């Protein structure tokens, strides 16, 4: 693995020897990397290289499946994520998926505070109101929906739905937001709005994003990871990786020789 | 997308080589003029220099546009990006080299004391030959992805600067300075301009070499000393 960054001081996430296997077939092989706080880190690579598998491992989603084993260590603010309750982890590390998935039977308001309601976390109405407004303002959706918070989330456009899902993740004021190809199902304008949003959000959150779209990674990420066949091949500042990649495999991927 | 991008890049490379050949032809024509030791430039040679200059100007504009279009349409990255940026830098330098050749021929025509020029002929010949070789090697470095030729060019530029400085002293040493001749002074000025323009050609060849190194290694060594 080529790491072109000398050292990340006080990383928010420290990943050491992370491996994920589906029935003993390794999809992620011994990945070690530090993720910088308040930055956008893009995980890139060809289809099937383990990007989404790695991201889901950070959220401990693989624990739902018996045939998937995860090994290694992931420290979030110096605490091992595999030692903490999953609910606590998911408050600190929110996740947004490729297809916008607001809960179809819930209102916009209830979608934002779904995490609290579904986990039986009691919060005063006034606090909930504040959480909803703050989260929707953070995703630039408040002005568009403030007069229709009782409407179902599914009535929103694709881009608005995705922003609602991000707001839902933000409701717990997480440290990290994980996004798995968050714009691949959206039109170009909605994509552009989400990209602008992510750049703005990094002021207060750390963003880790899987993307197939190299242009997107180049436009909005500060750091890039290149995965190939489950291995971390190269990690560095996006601008350096995109102009002078060090590993020939990175060079070939970026110049379209494979992928 | 890759096929179209690759074809666009090959097209740019092909046009650049065509432009480079024209610039080298300009340098060879200049060598012909100086080697001839005749103060009268052959009409055919002049005509060819002017024709090449027009062709180079047209190609520079066309190629610049192709480069911009390729960047917009295909968003090249990594080595593709470096190569295209280096190509852009090189075409600007090649166009300037051709301008300088035309400029040299204009000063050449204005020399009124052939005797003064003939005393400097060997030195100017050497300067022209060296600068032509520098341009040639710098271009080969880029076309063949060969760093060594680029390094040779950059190192010779330093030698060239000293060469030019010494030549100025020799001008006054070789010419009888007791002769206060207005015509002679004017000729000396024009000879000096010819030498300065040749030196600038050498500078442009260094720029081409630096662009080649950027393309090959991703290092921008402009305004840096080369490690020995």
Q: How confident is the model at residue B37 (pLDDT cuts 50, 70, 90)?
A: confident
| Cα→Cα distances B65→B60, B94, B212, Å | 9, 16, 21
Q: What is the DSSP letter of A49?
A: S
Q: How confident is the model at residue B4 (pLDDT cuts 50, 70, 90)?
A: confident
pLDDT at B187: 85
pLDDT at B180: 53
Question: A72 is written with which tokens?
Answer: 């290694």
| Cα→Cα distances B166→A9, A22, A91, A216, B153, Å | 55, 75, 75, 56, 20
Determine contact: B77 vs chain A, CB below 8 A: yes
CATH number of B2-217: 1.20.58.220
pLDDT at B70: 92
Q: How far apart are CA A90 and CA A172, in angstroms?
A: 9
pLDDT at A188: 92
**pLDDT digits (tens), chain A, 259 positions:** 777 665 777 899 999 999 999 998 999 999 999 999 999 999 999 999 999 999 999 999 999 899 999 999 999 999 999 999 999 999 999 999 999 999 999 999 999 999 999 888 999 999 999 999 999 999 999 999 999 999 998 899 999 999 999 999 999 999 999 999 999 999 999 999 999 999 999 999 999 999 989 999 999 999 999 999 999 999 999 989 998 999 999 999 999 988 7
Comparing CB atoms, the residue among A218, A243, A254 nearest residue B218 is A243
pLDDT at B39: 84
Q: What is the DSSP letter of A107?
A: B
Q: How far apart are CA A153 and CA A251, in angstroms?
A: 42
Q: Strands A223-228, A231-237: parallel, antiparallel or unpaired by DSSP? A: antiparallel
* Side-by-side strand order, sheet with A13-22: A25-35, A13-22, A68-76, A79-80
With residues binned 3-state (H G I as helix, E B as strand, rest as coil), the percentages for chain B, rounded to 5, are 85, 0, 15
CATH assignment of the domain containing A247: 3.40.50.300
pLDDT at B227: 66
pLDDT at A163: 95
**A232 vs B165, higher pLDDT:** A232
* Side-by-side strand order, sheet with A231-237: A2-3, A231-237, A223-228, A40-44, A206-210, A176-180, A93-96
Determine contact: B80 vs chain A, CB below 8 A: yes
| A251–B76 CB contact, under 8 Å | no
* Closest of B51, B52, B85 to residue B68, by C-alpha: B85
Task: Chain A: give the shortest CA distance to residue B144, in Å.
Answer: 19
* Closest of A138, A137, A155, A154 to residue A146, by C-alpha: A137
Asked if pLDDT for residue B181 goes beyond 90, the answer is no
Cβ B110 vs Cβ B41: under 8 Å: no
What residue spans define the domains of chain B? Answer: 2-217
* Domains identified in chain A, total number: 1
Q: How far apart are CA B211 and CA B82, in angstroms?
A: 9
| A243–B76 CB contact, under 8 Å | no
Determine contact: B83 vs chain A, CB below 8 A: no
Does a structural domain hold residue A245?
Answer: yes
| B2–A256 CB contact, under 8 Å | yes
- Domain carrying residue A245: 2-97+175-254
Other beta carbons within 10 angstroms of residue B46's beta carbon come to 16
Does a structural domain hold residue A200?
Answer: yes
Does a structural domain hold residue A87?
Answer: yes
Q: How far apart are CA B67 and CA B62, in angstroms?
A: 9
| A257–B218 CB contact, under 8 Å | no
Comparing CB atoms, the residue among B2, B76, B218 nearest residue A244 is B218
Residue A104 CA, chain-centre distance (Å), reads: 22
| B77–A218 CB contact, under 8 Å | yes
Q: How far apart are CA A209 and CA A218, in angstroms?
A: 12
Contact residues, A window 189-218, toward B, CB-based 8 Å cutoff:
214-215, 218
What's chain B's average pLDDT?
A: 89
pLDDT, one tens digit per residue, over B106-146 is 999 998 888 888 888 888 898 999 999 999 999 999 999 99
pLDDT at A65: 93
**B61 vs A4, higher pLDDT:** B61
SS3 (DSSP) at A41: strand
Residues 6+ apart with CB under 8 A from A98: A180, A181, A182, A184, A185
* Closest of A74, A70, A24, A20 to residue A50, by C-alpha: A20
Does a structural domain hold residue A61?
Answer: yes
Q: How far apart are CA A27 and CA A41, in angstroms?
A: 20
A240: nearest CA partner in chain B? B78
Q: How far apart are CA B13 and CA B10, in angstroms?
A: 5
Contacts of A214 in chain B (CB under 8 A): 77
| B76–A255 CB contact, under 8 Å | yes
Half-sphere exposure of A197 (CA within 13 A, CB side): 26
Contacts of B218 in chain A (CB under 8 A): 243-244
| A251–B218 CB contact, under 8 Å | no
Task: Chain A: give the shortest CA distance to residue B201, in Å.
Answer: 29
Cβ B89 vs Cβ B61: under 8 Å: no
> Percent of chain B at pLDDT above 70?
93
Q: What is the DSSP letter of B107?
A: H
Contact residues, A window 237-256, toward B, CB-based 8 Å cutoff:
242-245, 250-251, 254-256
Does a structural domain hold residue A207?
Answer: yes
Rg of the Cα atoms in chain B: 19
| B78–A256 CB contact, under 8 Å | no
């Amino acid at each position: 693995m080529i790491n072109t960054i000398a050292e990340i001081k006080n990383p928010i996430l420290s990943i050491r020897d992370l491996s994920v296997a589906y029935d003993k077939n390794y999809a992620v092989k011994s990945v070690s990397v530090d993720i910088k706080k308040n930055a956008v880190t893009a995980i890139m690579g060809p289809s099937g290289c383990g990007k989404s598998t790695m991201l889901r491992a950070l959220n401990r989603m693989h624990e739902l499946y018996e045939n998937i084993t995860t090994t290694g260590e992931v420290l979030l603010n110096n605490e091992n994520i595999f030692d903490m309750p999953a609910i606590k982890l998911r408050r600190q590390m929110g996740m947004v998926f490729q297809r916008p998935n607001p809960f179809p039977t819930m209102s916009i308001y209830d979608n934002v505070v779904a995490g609290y309601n579904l986990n039986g976390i009691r919060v005063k109405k006034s606090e909930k109101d504040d959480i909803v407004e703050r989260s929707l303002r953070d995703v630039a959706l408040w002005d568009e929906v403030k007069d229709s918070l009782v409407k179902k989330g599914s009535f929103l456009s694709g881009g608005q739905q995705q922003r609602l899902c991000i707001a839902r993740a933000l409701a717990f004021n997480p440290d990290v937001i994980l996004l798995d190809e968050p714009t691949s199902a959206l039109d170009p304008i909605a994509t552009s709005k989400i990209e602008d949003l992510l750049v703005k959000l990094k002021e207060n959150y750390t963003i880790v994003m899987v993307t197939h779209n190299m242009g997107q990674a180049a436009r909005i990420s500060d750091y890039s990871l290149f995965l190939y066949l489950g291995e971390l091949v190269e990690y560095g500042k996006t601008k350096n990786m995109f102009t002078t990649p060090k590993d020939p495999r990175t060079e070939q991927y970026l110049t379209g020789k494979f992928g | 997308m890759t096929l179209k991008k690759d074809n666009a890049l090959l097209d740019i490379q092909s046009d650049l080589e065509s432009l480079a050949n024209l610039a080298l032809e300009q340098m060879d024509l200049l060598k012909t003029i100086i080697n001839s030791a005749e103060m009268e430039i052959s009409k055919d040679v002049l005509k060819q220099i002017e024709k090449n200059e027009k062709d180079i100007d047209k190609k520079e504009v066309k190629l610049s546009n192709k480069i911009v279009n390729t960047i917009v349409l295909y968003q090249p990255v990594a080595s593709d990006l470096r190569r295209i940026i280096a190509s852009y830098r090189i075409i600007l330098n090649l166009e300037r080299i051709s301008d300088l050749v035309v400029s040299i021929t204009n000063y050449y025509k204005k020399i009124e004391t052939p005797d003064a020029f003939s005393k400097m002929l060997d030195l100017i010949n050497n300067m022209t030959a060296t600068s032509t070789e520098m341009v040639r090697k710098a271009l080969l470095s880029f076309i063949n992805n060969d760093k060594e030729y680029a390094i040779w060019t950059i190192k010779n530029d330093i030698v060239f600067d000293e060469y030019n400085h010494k030549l100025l002293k020799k001008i006054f040493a070789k010419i009888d300075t007791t002769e206060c001749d207005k015509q002679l002074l004017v000729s000396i000025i024009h000879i000096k301009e010819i030498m300065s323009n040749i030196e600038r050609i050498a500078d442009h060849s260094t720029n081409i070499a630096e662009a080649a190194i950027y393309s090959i290694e991703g290092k921008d060594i402009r305004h840096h000393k080369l490690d020995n």
